[in-house]
Amino acid sequence: MIDLFHVGYLTVTLLDIIDILLVTGLIYVIYTFFRDSRAKQMVVGLIILILLGSFARLLNLQALSWILGSLQTAWLIFFVIVFQPELRRILLIVGQNPLVRRLFSPETYDLTEELIHSVMELQRRKIGALIVVLRDLGLKTIVEKGVAINGTLSTQLILSIFNTDSPLHDGAIIVYQDQVIAAKCILPLSENTDVDPTIGTRHLAALGLSEESEAFVIIVSEETGKISTAFRGILKRGLDEPALRTDLIKYLSGRNV
Ligand SMILES: Nc1ncnc2c1ncn2[C@@H]1O[C@H](COP(=O)(O)OP(=O)(O)OP(=O)(O)O)[C@@H](O)[C@H]1O
C-alpha cells in the first residue's frame, strides 16, 4: 500500500486514511442517530472506553488495556439489552434502504409497501378504514377489547376486514411489524376543541389515540375517500401516496413525522 507520510516511527498509508475516514463516519452516524435519545451518554461512554483502550494498547499498558477491554465487552452487552428498541430502528432504516432490499432480499415481504397498497385500494374503493400502526408493541387494553386477528398483513386481509359486509369492519385495526394484531378496536375520541368541527368520529378517534400514544394512525374516509394521518395529536388531511409513504417510513424508522 502507498506510504503517504511518517509520524515519528509510524508510517501512514492510504489504507490508514481510508480506515480513519470510515471509522469517523461510522462514529458520526451512530452519534447523530442517538444524539436526541436517552442512549447518548452511553454511546459517548463507549466511545471514550474504546479510545482509552486503544491508547492503552498503543502504549503497551497491558493491565489497563485488559481492564478496559473487559469493560468494553460488558458495556456493549448492556447497551444491546437496554437499547434494543433503538437498535431495532437502525436495522429498520438499513433494511428499508432500497439498495439493501434489492441486494439481500428481492422477494422479501415488504410491510410498508403492502400497507400503502392496502390504503390506496381502500381509497380507490371508497372503503372507510382506521389503521393503527405501531413501532413498539403496546396498547394492550385497546387490543384486548378488540378481536384478535394475528394474521400476516396483506391487502386482501385488510380489504376483507373493512368491507362493510364484514362483522369486523367497525373500529380500528392494529398493525405491528408484519401482523394485523387485532380488529374492531375502539379508540379514545379526541376532546381537542380546536379541531375542525365538521370532522367525524373516525377522524376524532384517530386523533384521540395519537394524543395518548406514539401510534401512527391512518384514516381512509368512507365519505370522500381521502387519506389522513394522525400522529402526536396532529391530523394531516388529504395525503397522496408519496406523502403517505414518506411519513410511514419516517415513523417506522423512529423519526418524527
Ligand atoms: N372510538 C372509535 N374507535 C374506533 N373506530 C371508531 C370510533 N368511533 C367511530 N369509529 C369508526 O368510524 C365510523 C364512523 O365514522 P364517521 O362517519 O362518524 O366519521 P368520519 O370521521 O366522518 O369518517 P368518514 O369520513 O369515513 O365518514 C364507525 O363506523 C367506526 O367504524
Q: Rounded distance, CA 215 to CA 133, Å?
A: 6
**128 contacts 202 by C-beta, under 8 angstroms:** yes
Let me know whether 150 and 223 are in one domain.
yes
* Mean pLDDT, all residues of the chain: 86
CA of 197 to the centre of ligand 1 (A): 14
Range scoring the smallest mean pLDDT among 38-42, 118-122, 240-244: 38-42
Decide: 196 in ligand 1 pocket, CB within 6 A: no
Burial of 24 (0-12, 13-18, 19+ CB in 10 A): exposed
pTM above 0.80, yes or no: no
CA of 47 to the centre of ligand 1 (A): 50
Task: Single out the residue in 72, 94, 116 at which a domain terminates.
Answer: 94
Range scoring the smallest mean pLDDT among 42-51, 147-156, 161-170, 194-203: 42-51
Q: Give me the mean pLDDT over the 94-100 stretch.
A: 66
Task: Single out the residue in 94, 125, 144 at which a domain terminates.
Answer: 94
Let me know whether 24 and 46 are in one domain.
yes
The answer to whether residue 99 sits within a structural domain is: no
The answer to whether residue 57 sits within a structural domain is: yes
Let me know whether 246 and 224 are in one domain.
yes
Decide: 146 in ligand 1 pocket, CB within 6 A: no
Res 107: pLDDT = 44
Q: What is the pLDDT of residues 73-87, one digit of tens each?
A: 787 787 778 777 777
Q: What are the φ/ψ torsions at residue 107 (nearest 5 degrees)?
A: -95, 0
Query: How far from 86 is each of 20, 32, 38, 39, 53, CA to CA, in Å?
Result: 26, 13, 10, 8, 26
Total domain count for the chain?
2
- pLDDT bracket for residue 103 (50, 70, 90): low
Let me know whether 136 and 241 are in one domain.
yes
CA atoms within 13 A on the CB side of 23: 9
For a pLDDT cut of 70, what percent of the chain falls above it? Answer: 90
- pLDDT bracket for residue 253 (50, 70, 90): confident
Decide: 230 in ligand 1 pocket, CB within 6 A: no
Q: What is the pLDDT of residues 114-127, one digit of tens each?
A: 999 999 999 999 99
For 221, the domain range is 105-252
The answer to whether residue 167 sits within a structural domain is: yes
Element (H, E) at 153: none
Let me know whether 146 and 235 are in one domain.
yes
Decide: 130 in ligand 1 pocket, CB within 6 A: yes
Burial of 84 (0-12, 13-18, 19+ CB in 10 A): exposed
Decide: 225 in ligand 1 pocket, CB within 6 A: no
